[in-house]
Amino acid sequence: MAKILFVVTGADHWTLADGTQHPTGFWAEEAVAPYEAFKAAGHEVVVATPGGVVPTVDQASLAPEFNGGQEGAEKVATTLAEISEFLRPLKLAEVDLADYAAVFYPGGHGPMEDLAVDAESGRLLSAALESGKPLGVVCHGPAALLAATKEDGSNAFAGYELTGFTNVEETQSGFAEKAKWLLQDRLVAAGADFKEGEPWAPKVVVDRNLITGQNPASAAPLADELLGKLA
């Protein structure tokens, strides 16, 4: 049994370009699907957030239309409520990477607010990348990669093939014109080799120990890839 670190946003809102705060947090499917996969494989999950705050689920991610109907929505909500690890997160600053076999970042718009500029998270990501341990990041989770800067100011993930929530998907979800910045644009500007798939379809990109997923539908296949690297 291995220990897998879940680094989850501590934000409960996303500040838009006009200064308004859009309620958000982490996206349910992106946390629940990998959690269930990791636990089913016999692994332990430990959750960490900035400041050790209990993470907030984006209520929109519990809607039937994002979970294949009412039954799916109820199942996700029930499962999430039973995940005790989310109720007692560690403080991200106190995490020791040596204690974990892999690291995983779920998305939601929350990481655009806090993890994108969180130096502790950035250092952890850089260390995880250098360690060779499996590092999984999905949807808006790659916003956290923007904080992983080297001493020379370059990004630790420059030159890596990766994916994340695309400009097209952000436009179709109605937020592109409201956002201060778009994730795909920032990752490309940081030097990443961004791989864009079909909107909303599962897409996972693997480059060395980095495993990234484009959108919520990519969370489960990303978890499978990560488990394969732990086998």
Q: Which two tokens stand for residue 30?
A: 């992106």
Q: Work out the average pLDDT over 11-18.
A: 98
173-178 average pLDDT score: 98
What is the mean pLDDT of the segment spanning 93-109?
Answer: 98
CA distance 22 to 221: 29
**Residue matched to tokens 């016999």:** 42
Nearby residues of 180 by Cβ (< 8 Å), 6 or more positions away: 15, 16, 17
How many residues comprise the chain? Answer: 231
CA distances from 163 to 27, 49, 210, 220 (A): 17, 23, 10, 15
pLDDT of res. 231: 84
Radius of gyration of the chain (CA): 16
For 165-203, the DSSP string reads: S-HHHHHHTT-TTT-SS-HHHHHHHTT-EE---STTS--
Q: For residue range 113-149, what is the model confidence (pLDDT) as tens digits? A: 999 999 999 999 999 999 999 999 999 999 999 999 9
Task: Report percent pLDDT > 70 for the chain.
Answer: 100
So what's the pLDDT on residue 155?
98
Q: What is the pLDDT of residues 189-214, one digit of tens each?
A: 999 999 999 999 999 999 999 999 99
Give the pLDDT mean for 155-183: 98
pLDDT at residue number 21: 98
pLDDT on residue 109? 98
State which H helix or E strand residue 45 sits in: strand 44-49
Q: Please, which residues have CB within 8 angstroms of residue 116's CB and are 6 or more apart in sequence? A: 143, 144, 146, 147, 186
Residue 210: predicted pLDDT = 98
